[in-house]
Structure 1
C-alpha cells in the first residue's frame, strides 16, 4: 500500500468460484486500492472460499457472505456501508483490471465519477488479454445526463454503445451529499439508475478512452440474463426519476425515450411469456386490451422473424468476432499500438 491508497473496490459475486480469484488479484495488484470488499451474494458453490484464498496478507481483503441471494444492488450497498475509502469502484466477479488502471484514472481531476474504456474479451483468451489490448489516448470528456441516457438506448443492427456498462470510480462524498445508493428493487440496470440519479443532481461524469477494464464475455454470464419483471421495474425507475427530479426539457425527453425503449422490450417479452405459459389466445387477449403495447409487440415479432435476412451494420460489443478478437466500448484510434 502507498500513501495514495484511497479506493475501495467492490466485487459482488454469485457462483463465481471459477473467476473470482482473477478479479481479486487484479484489484490487489493496484497500489491505489486500500480495500477490496467481496460480497458473496448467496452462492451455492465455493465463491467465498475461493475469494478468501486470495488474501495477500496486506489486510485489504474483506470477504462477506450473504446466506441468501439479495441481488447486486444490495450487495454493493452493503459493501459501501462497511468500507471507509473516499473513492469507490465496482469490479464484476468475472472481469478484471488491466495493470495500472487506477493510476490511469487518478491522473485526471475535476470529477465526481470517472470511467475508462472497456475491452470485451473472450473468456478463452482472458489469460493473454493484457498483451492484446490497444493503447488509446485518454481524450477526456465530460458526459451530461442526455448523452448518458441516449448512450443506453440500443438500436437494432447498430453496435451497442451502452455506457451503462462503464465501471466508474465514484466519490463517496457526492453519493452521501445527495443520499444516493443503488436501488435494491432493481436486478437489471441498477448501475444505469444510480448514474442517472447522480447526473440529474449535477454530477461531473468524466470519461477517458484509455482502456483499463477487461470485461470477459461468457455465454452464461448472469448480467446477460434477466426476468421480464426486471424490465418492468427498470422503466418504472425511469418514471420515478421523471416524477421526482426537476429536469430541463431535453433531459426529460431523453428519459422518456429510454423509458419507452425499455417498456417496449417489456411488452414484447410479456406477450411472449403469456403465449408460452397460457397459450396464444391469452397473449392475443392481452395485446387487444392493451392497444398502446401493440406497436412494440408487432414490431418486435416482425424484427425477430426477419433478423436472419438482415446483415447487421455492426455487432454488439460483447459479440466477439474471430478467435482472440478484442472489442471496445468506445471506438478510438489506437495511438501507441498494442501494449
Structure 2
C-alpha cells in the first residue's frame, strides 16, 4: 500500500460491547492516509462480526486478522508485523479517540509525538496532564517517567515504524502487566525528540470488571520487567537510567502495587509473604529520592503491620 502515513493497531478479545464505538472513533478521524489493523485474538463472542461489519463498510485501508488466543502482546506484535505505515498508533478495543487524535499525533519532524489521556469511569473523568514544553528529549522524558513525575500510558505515543522494526522491538508475552510500558521505554531510548501536544484525545475507559482480581499477584511482575529494562539501559551505556530504575521506579512500583492490593482487600499476610518470596523488601529499601516517600518506606520496613493498621484507619476515615 502506498502513502500510508499511520497504521492504527487494535487488538481485540471478547470486546463486542465496546469495539463498535472504538472503531467508529478511528474511522471518523479528520486525518488522511492511515490504515486500520485489527487483530482478533481468538474471541468467543461476536467481536469479529462487528469488526467485519464496521470495516467492510468503510473505504479506509484495513486488515483484519483472526488468530488463536495468544494474548494481547502477541496480537500487537502481529499488528506491527503486517503494518504499512510510517508511524504506529495503538488503540485498545474498549477505548475511544477524538476525531483529531491522529492529526495531533502525526509529526514527521520527530521520532515520537505524545498527546494526553483522559481516564473515564462512568460519569467521572480525570484531568489530563499539562506540559510546559512543546518538544522534549526522549531521555528527559524517560527520566521523568522513571521518577513517576508524569502520568504515562504507552497509547499516548505515536511511534516511528522504522525504530520499532529495525530494532526488533516487541511486546513481551511473558508478562500480563507492565509489558506496554516496557515496550515504550525501550522504543524511546532509540529516538531523540518527542513533540508534545496538550490536547486530550485518547479516552481510557475503566470498567467495573477492571478491578476483578484475575491475575492475583501478577502486578508484581512489573519489578521483573523493570529489572530487565535496567539491564537493557546498562547494555546501552545508559547507566544513569539503569540506576534510576533501581533507586526510584522499582521501589515506587512495589509500594504502589502493595497499596493497590491492600485497597482491594487482599489479605495482609498473603501480601507480605509474597513480597518476602520475591525479595521485594530488599528492593524497596534501595529507594533514593523524595524525603517524604522515603520516610513512608522506612516506616513500613520498620513494622509492616503497624503501617498497614495506620493505613487502614486513614483509608476508612476517608471512605
TM-score norm. by structure 2 comes to: 0.74
Q: Which residue of 1 aligns with 2:242?
A: 252
Change (3 A) 1:87 1:284: closer
Greater percentage in helix: 2
> Which stretch shows the higher mean deviation, 226-235 or 110-119?
226-235
Give, in angstroms, the shift of residue 194 of structure 1.
1.6
1:79-127 deviation digits (Å, cap 9, x = unpaired): 1111211111000111111112211223x453111110112223458xx
Residue pairs, 1:1-339, within 5 angstroms: 5-30=4-29, 31-32=31-32, 34-55=34-55, 56-58=57-59, 60-68=61-69, 70-106=70-106, 108-123=107-122, 140-151=134-145, 161-221=150-210, 226-232=215-221, 233-249=224-240, 251-256=241-246, 257-263=248-254, 275-276=269-270, 283=273, 286=276, 292=282, 298=301, 302-310=306-314
Alpha-carbon shift at residue 14 of structure 1 (Å): 1.9
Alignment partners' CA distance in 1, 2:304 and 2:48:
41
Structure 2 residue ranges without an equivalent (≥5): 286-296
Q: What do you get for the CA RMSD once the two structures are aligned?
A: 4.1
Contact kept? 1:150, 1:258, Cα under 8 Å: no
Aligned to 2:289: none
CA contact (8 A) 1:146 1:254 kept: no
Q: CA deviation at 1:147?
A: 3.6
- TM value normalised by structure 1: 0.70
Are the counterparts in 2 of residues 16 and 93 from structure 1 also a CA contact under 8 Å? yes
Q: Shift of residue 260 of structure 1? A: 3.2
The DSSP-based 3-state class of the residue aligned with 1:188 is coil
Q: d(CA) in 2 for partners of 1:265 and 1:230? A: 10
Distance in 2 separating the partners of 1:300 and 1:220 = 30
1:30-66 residue CA offsets vs partner (Å, 9 max, x unmatched): 2335211111223232221222121223152322222
Find the residue that maps to 1:94 and give its secondary structure: coil
- Tell me: higher relative CO, structure 1 or 2? Use CA pairs within 8 A at least 6 residues apart: 1
